[in-house]
A and B are shown apart, each in its own frame.
Chain A
Amino acid sequence: MFEQQTSGDKGISAFPDGDNLFSWVATISGAANTVYEGIEFKLRMEFSNNYPFSAPTVRFTSPCFHPNVDQQGNICLDILKEKWSASYDVRALLLSIQSLLGEPNNSSPLNVQAADLWSDQSRFRQSVLERCSSCVRQS
């Protein structure tokens, strides 16, 4: 029923949190050539008994400065809400969130400050780093 996330894709991974198959911990690395490059975010995915007929609840657990992510880490993404489809798996979800990082929807922001700052990419990058210095990947 759940597709185990393997290392096939760069920059995303997900595993069940302990023995609980309904709660997963995931990581997403910011894509290259975006303000999130070199930053690794942690997320929590909660699956309901109704999965895959209803979307899992996905939240950032690391602070994420992004126009479509609020202070609590909630994500505003259509495929997590009304555009959910039963054929989406964990990999598809995480890739969608990864691409949302680089291509925010600034017309309906959860974080207005981030949406306003998006046009200034260097200052935006600074804000991202200020909020999540611990997320910078050690290389």
Chain B
Amino acid sequence: MAGVENTGEAGATGGQEGPEASDGAYECNICLDQARDAVVSMCGHLFCWPCLHTWLETRRNNQVCPVCKAAISRDKVIPLYGRNSSNKDPRNQLPPRPPGQRTEPENQGTTFGGVNFGDTNFHMSFGIGAFPLGFFASTLNFGGERLNPHAGLQPGQQFHADDQMLSKLFLGLGIFCVIWILLA
């Protein structure tokens, strides 16, 4: 209806026929406007790439041609380049995507304990010799956290150095015990 009004002034001399003749031939099958960044499917149907991309994104598991339901995918459409259009592949110019969303995890407090328990596991995995120390170290760590839960780096490091020394000691003891058991 709007089209008839527009051509009414310009086209008493058959100007109406021009647009009518090519009406729809180069229109996108989704937005019904003239196709921009045009691509054509293997089944011959014309789309704007942004339109087709959005359609394919809404049907990731069932990508079919909106017109004839033939199988279709990003790699099975052909970009169309007119004389004055840029030769860039429209498939590389995707419509802007919505940004990802990230929410902070809940229960910040409990993760601290989790880390300490992880430490204990780490020590335990080294073998029999380190086991008693791991238990001991974690106990010490807990003490340190409790005394100075927020900024206990300095004392923590001290504990750590002590731990390492004790760890070596116990490791040596452990190895000695194993060898002794093996020899006996």
Contacts and interface: CB of A to CB of B under 8 A. Distances in A.
Interface residues of A, number: 13
A9 to B, nearest CB: 15
B66 interface: yes
Contact of B29 (A1, A50, A87): A87
Nearest to B3: A4
A86 B55 contact: yes
Interface residues of B, number: 16
B58 A87 contact: no
Interface string B6-50: 000000000000000000000001111100000000000100000
Contacts of A6: 1
Contacts of B29: 86-87
B32 A86 contact: no
A3 B30 contact: no
A4 B4 CA distance: 13
Given A1-B31, A1-B32, A87 B54 contact: no
Interface in B34-89: 45, 51, 54-55, 58, 64, 66-67, 69
A4 B55 contact: no
A46 interface: no
Closest 4 CB pairs of A and B: A87-B66, A86-B66, A85-B66, A87-B29
